[in-house]
Structure 1
Amino acid sequence: MDKKLHNFFASGLLEKYVLDEISASESLQVEQFIAKYPEVEQEYIKLQENLEIIAKAQAVEAPVSILDNILEDIDDKTQTPVVKLNTSSRKFSWFSIAASIATLLFAGGFYMKNEQNKALKRENQVVVDEIFDLRDDIDKNNQKLDNLMRQFMKLNNPETEKYVFRGNDRAKDLKTVAYINPIEETSMIDVVSLPQLPEDQTYQLWAEMQDRMVNLGILDASQRKLQSVPYVKDALALSITIGPKERLNTTSADSAIAQIDLNNKRNN
């Protein structure tokens, strides 16, 4: 590889560009490399695909009731109480009328001021509660972003190998991708599609050793996201089986519906 290209890849600018954590001058430099070198363009496309995989796995829909709650809260706060006064035909002296008006104005002002203070206290409490909720959301989002970054870096590690499970005649629609890094000893599974099974059966992931099979856990069809699985050193192959739920730790030779060979790829 060209030394200039090697230094560019080692700088990490391409990863920062994909994640939009880069300055304007660095962004221009990256775009020039993408336009000039096909190797950089291919790696850029790969990074975008990996980021899309993780983004879909972490996507969370906002609750539908949020807008209704906000509109209802606004309606409640904009209602103004109306005080109805009964008119009287009795004649009062100007002094009595003035005194009555002053008293009513004072009482009305006091009442309105009191109501405004109560409303202000309620609004302040709402603001305080919302601030705490926002802080909690920010912490959760920061944690998700941190997990996203970790998974993104694992996927784009040069030592990470990609393996695609494809189902046999018993599960033609099955498709699952495994990402394995033998240097860092990490394994991740991306469940793309798993055909629906009867209630009494389940999918299991196995690692094939020289003398035995090691159970790596259940694959849930509803968990369509990138997830970590145990790494098994010196495993020859990984296989997905269908078996009864009451016998999770047992398997047979004919129960495998998809398999990837790890030994051949490591020897190449």
Structure 2
Amino acid sequence: MNVTEYIASGILESYVMGAVSDQERREVECLSSIYPDIRLELDQLSEVLENYALSHSVEPPESVKAKLMDQLDFDKPVQETIVRPMPVDMSTTNSSPTFRVTWIVAASMGLLLFLFSFYLLSQLRTTQKRLTSTQTDNSKMLAEVRQLRDQKTLADQALAVVRQPGTRTLELKGNDKAPQGTMLVFWNSQTHQVAVQVGSLPPLPADKQYQLWSMVGGKPVDAGVFETSSAAVQRMNRNVARAEAFAVTVEKRGGSPTPTLSTLLALAPINA
């Protein structure tokens, strides 16, 4: 059972008002004995409405008490009387019309204030839900803006490598393991910075990642890992001081200190 949705349905407010069926009443009482959150919400709701009704209660006019005291004579001796049933004529009753009207108005005002308090409570709940939803949307939007800002920063850094004087562009093409695979490697021998741009490479499982290697004296040197989900230029987090060729392998996510030669996808020498 979703307790949050049940509390937000408004059944508890109707229960406190006495505006529920016998089945609904039994259901609320049963669930409140099982779920502490429903019991707590019911107690808080009853307390709020009780305090609101007390704070807006209407005192009867002072004249009512005086009229009642005038009609009750406590000094007369108590005499035994014979009580016989007789029809009551409302026009001759001891209660005056002003007394009856006053109490009717007071009761009506009390009921209206009671119902209005439920309306205000319902509006408060709706406003709180909308505020929570707005805050969630704003948090998501802020996270997306930050992500886009970070991506732009990385893209600007990668493009700066490409635009530097002395940057060389090397095209790597896939072997028989990736015949349609293509990518570009940008390397600046003066600043030692490297960037890549993926054209087309086969998708990998979540626990695998492509890794770039620079070949120096016939030995592979780690040049960093990169993603294939973006066609933008990606700056590598490794500097390459010397390189005779570049190669790409498939490694476990995060990279490997040595290449897995069985997963070699591309190898291209650097022309002098």
What is the TM-score of this pair, normalised by structure 1? 0.48
Larger radius of gyration: 2
What is the TM-score of this pair, normalised by structure 2? 0.48
